[in-house]
Amino acid sequence: MQSQSRNEVALGVRNLTLSYDREPVVQDISFDVPRGAIVGVLGPNGAGKSTLIKAIVGALSPDLGDIHVLGTSGKDALKRMTYVPQRGSVDWDFPVTVRDVVAQGCYARLGLWGKVRGKEAKVVDEALEMVSMTHLQHRQIGALSGGQQQRVFLGRALAQRGEIYLMDEPFVGVDVKTEEAIVQVLRMLRDEGRTLLVVHHDLSTVREYFDHILLMNKHLIGFGKTEDIFVPDLLQDAYGGRLAIFEHGEGTL
């Protein structure tokens, strides 16, 4: 992507606020993500990272706030987003196959009754190929390793083909091979001009994976280029006392 479209705002969030039982979880967060960015969403446990992502994709309704995607809002904006939930959020004993789950990505276009065949079946084939799950497509999803399960979720997102991908902890509990495969897919999506927000835990890989960082702890602590945000001062603001662990590891960054 050239510098002109680089400056285009892909995802704009204004004053997003969300609470459970009047207990604020996400407080007044605003930021603009440029098109083609890979954004790491960082913060300690309980910082509201997952909640923020869910509110952006419409899985939770915020108390307050506006969300814009490439100049659209409301339902049109939701249609351009693709959500990859946490692997632990579903029951993997559910009687569906790998192919069934990846095909759910087509539902965004097919609605409640459209059949997955012809062009859409091809989309599913390609998505399975991209996450190297073609050989396991007829397997029940419980009979997979953690990394394979994460690739199934990624395959579903690829079949959906949104402009903005929002992923909740895609690297948790996956093997090295899957982690590399996911990073490759993220970069491929970015090179196609798509924008990605990824909730992430492992601070040691942040510089390698993300060109932008959203640092939060209930409220926004910083949003911008990785080199500007991934600095000890701001990280101390976000992680507080837990910084000791970070400083210990900083030498390796």
Partner 1 sequence: MLYELFIEPWTLGDWMQRGMLAATLASVPCALLGVFLYLRRLSLVADALSHTALPGIVVAFLFSGSLSSPVLLLGAVLSGGISTAAIEYFSRSRLIRSDAAIGIVFSSLFAVGVILLSVFVKDAHIDTQCMLFGDVLGISTESLWTLGIVSPLIILCVLACWRVLVLTSFDEEYARALGWPVSLIHYALMGGVAMMTVAAFEAIGAILAIAMIIVPAATAHLLSDRMKHMAMWAVAHALLSSLAGMYVAVWLDVSAAGAIVMVGGILYLCAVFFSPSHGKVTSYFKRRQGKGSSVTVPS
Binding residues for partner 1 (CB under 8 A) = 20-21, 54, 57-60, 75, 78-79, 81, 83, 85, 89-91, 93-97, 100-101, 104, 107-108, 112-113, 132, 136, 139-140, 142-145, 147-148, 156, 175, 177-178
Q: Which residues of 129-167 are buried (b: 16+ CB within 10 A; e: fewer)?
A: ebbebeebbeeebeebeebbbbbbbbbbbbbbbbbbbbb
CA pair distance 97, 134, nearest whole angstrom: 12
> CB under 8 Å to 30, separation ≥6 — which residues?
13, 14, 15, 16, 220
Distances (CA, A) of 228 to 43, 56, 103, 222: 16, 24, 40, 9
Question: Pick from 223, 246, 248, 251: which is nearest to 235 by CA?
Answer: 246
- CB of 214 closer than 8 Å to CB of 184: no
Give me 92's structure tokens. 């993997």
Question: Pick from 82, 30, 108, 103: which is nearest to 198 by CA?
Answer: 82
Shorter beta-carbon distance to partner 1: residue 93 or 233: 93
Structure-token match 């690739």, residue found: 151
Shorter beta-carbon distance to partner 1: residue 141 or 229: 141
Shortest distance, position 161 Cβ to partner 1, whole Å:
13
Shortest distance, position 123 Cβ to partner 1, whole Å:
16
Shorter beta-carbon distance to partner 1: residue 38 or 141: 141
Shorter beta-carbon distance to partner 1: residue 75 or 248: 75
Shorter beta-carbon distance to partner 1: residue 20 or 233: 20
Shortest distance, position 165 Cβ to partner 1, whole Å:
12
Shortest distance, position 121 Cβ to partner 1, whole Å:
16
SS3 state of residue 191: helix
Shortest distance, position 157 Cβ to partner 1, whole Å:
10
State phi, psi for 109 to the nearest 5 degrees: -95, -30
Shorter beta-carbon distance to partner 1: residue 142 or 249: 142
Shortest distance, position 88 Cβ to partner 1, whole Å:
12
